[in-house]
Amino acid sequence: MTRGRPPGMRVLLTHPVDSRARMRLAERTNLTRWPGPYPIPADDLARELFTQDGLLCLLGDPISSAVLDQSPQLRVVANLAVGYDNIDLVAASRLGIVVTNTPDVLTEATAELTWAILLALVRGVVPARQALLDGQWRYWSPTGFLGRGLGGKTLGVVGLGRIGQAVAARAAAFGMSVVVLGSRGQGPYPRLEREAFLATADVVSLHVPLTTDTRRMVDESFLARMKPGAFLVNTARGGLVDEDALLAALNTGRLAGAALDVFDREPVDGQHPLAAHPRVLATPHIGSATVETRAAMAERAVDNLLMALTGQRPRDLVNAAAWPGRCRYTPVK
Ligand code: DGY
């Protein structure tokens, strides 16, 4: 275990992050860097947290009510992600523990990845590459390796938050029009109710957080109302999709394909029926995975942690219920 200086505020870092942000944290706090294995096992997390004031964790670290209940000194949980469905927010607020996330800095990277896997899916880039590597490219065939075009088609955006807006804004570059499910969010796009939305969209792309309301929102009935031959893209959270229902829709050919960066239970491997499916392009939750974005996320998480620990309202406070009156300590100012 690497213990940093100076003594004072004690912070646990569950995984190595960008070195600049980590050094800043080590200069300002008594930093404990979990040395592995990764992700930190639940028992070790609970034991380590017993004496910590702050936690910088990942979306794969489950911060349950049991963990929080066993952390008597914990004041801040800074999640290195925009999503925070790994944290029991109700328990954190009940205990007066501040929770923060890292919005904004990953918007562009996630929108780019959405388009990268969408384009690769509809043009069959991955199977075409594999065919080349397997020696299957024998000549230029007018009927070989055919994908689908996007021009004149409609992109259906579910969730017009920051990432949904960034994805929608790029649609015009590919000649696509945009429709949006429901009335929330900003943007000059037609808002449709579910039935009309699903009957219109050639590609449905998910950009909502995982909550009790959105869990399994893409179920059998949702999939049955999508256009025959439509595509599904998910760079948000795997729990939004009923994976059995999606598998069935792909097997019957009702859906032409799915590009999935996220899964209900991560990680998955080549044995996972969706990841291995010939109509699926699967990637390992890499929406924000650029050097620039991951560094910016680490800086943002450290900012939030230090702000909360020094009594300032953190920039990306998720549970306003825990600030300031109910937080575990009295903010300095
Ligand atoms: C997030 O931040 O929630 C993404 O899923 C990973 O960057």
85-97: b (≥16 Cβ within 10 Å) or e: bbbbbebbbbbbb
Q: How many domains does the chain have?
A: 2
Whose structure tokens read 């911060």?
Answer: 63
Same domain, residue pair 98 and 112: no
Length in residues, the chain: 333
Same domain, residue pair 96 and 127: no
Indicate the Cα dihedral angle 269, 270, 274, 276, nearest 10°.
170
Ligand 1 centroid, distance to 318 Cα (angstroms): 15
The answer, yes or no, to whether any atom of ligand 1 lies below 6 A from the CB of 83, is yes
Of all residues in the chain, what percent carry a pLDDT higher than 90?
92
Question: Cis ω on the peptide bond leading into residue 331 (within 30° of 0)?
Answer: no
Report helix, strand or coil for 56.
strand
Same domain, residue pair 246 and 168: yes
Whose structure tokens read 């994805």?
Answer: 167
Instruction: For residues 110 and 117, give the distance between their C-alpha atoms in angstroms, rounded to a whole number.
Output: 11
Instruction: For residues 98 and 183, give the distance between their C-alpha atoms in angstroms, rounded to a whole number.
Output: 30
pLDDT at 323: 87
Atom 3 in ligand 1: residue holding the nearest Cα: 83
Residue 86 lies in a domain: yes
| pLDDT tens-digit series, residues 155-205 | 999 999 999 999 999 999 999 999 999 988 888 999 999 999 999 999 999
Domain of 69: which CATH number? 3.40.50.720
Q: Which atom of ligand 1 is nearest to the CA of 237?
A: 5
**What angle is formed at CA 75 by the lines to CA 70 and CA 80, rounded to 5 degrees?**
95
Residues of the chain with pLDDT under 70: 1-7, 326, 329-333
Q: Is 51 exposed, middle or buried (0-12, 13-18, 19+ CB in 10 A)?
A: middle
Same domain, residue pair 145 and 90: no
Please state the pTM of the whole predicted model. 0.95
Residue 333 lies in a domain: no
Ligand 1 centroid, distance to 59 Cα (angstroms): 7
Q: Which two tokens stand for residue 303?
A: 């900012």
| Residues 52 and 74: beta-carbon distance below 8 Å | yes
Residue 328 lies in a domain: no
Same domain, residue pair 86 and 211: no
Residue 83 lies in a domain: yes
pLDDT at 184: 86
Q: Is 157 exposed, middle or buried (0-12, 13-18, 19+ CB in 10 A)?
A: buried
Residue 217 lies in a domain: yes
Same domain, residue pair 187 and 263: yes
Residue 327 lies in a domain: no
Instruction: For residues 248 and 101, give the distance between their C-alpha atoms in angstroms, rounded to a whole number.
Output: 35
Question: Cis ω on the peptide bond leading into residue 37 (within 30° of 0)?
Answer: yes
Same domain, residue pair 154 and 138: yes
Report helix, strand or coil for 320.
helix
Q: Which two tokens stand for residue 261?
A: 């960066």
Strands (E), the chain: 2-3, 10-13, 30-33, 54-57, 76-79, 98-100, 154-158, 177-181, 191-192, 203-206, 230-234, 255-260, 280-282
Instruction: For residues 281 and 114, give the distance between their C-alpha atoms in angstroms, rounded to a whole number.
Output: 12
Instruction: For residues 180 and 178, give the distance between their C-alpha atoms in angstroms, rounded to a whole number.
Output: 7
Same domain, residue pair 64 and 127: no
The answer, yes or no, to whether any atom of ligand 1 lies below 6 A from the CB of 81, is yes
Residue 28 lies in a domain: yes
Same domain, residue pair 100 and 111: no
Pocket mutation for ligand 1, best pick of 17, 57, 59 (most atoms within 8 Å of C-beta): 59
Same domain, residue pair 75 and 129: no
Q: What distances in angstroms separate CA 289 from CA 24, 32, 110, 162, 296, one per listed residue?
A: 22, 25, 8, 17, 11
Residue 332 lies in a domain: no
Atom 1 in ligand 1: residue holding the nearest Cα: 81
Same domain, residue pair 120 and 237: yes
The answer, yes or no, to whether any atom of ligand 1 lies below 6 A from the CB of 59, is yes
Same domain, residue pair 128 and 263: yes
| pLDDT tens-digit series, residues 148-157 | 999 999 999 9
Domain that holds residue 278: 107-282
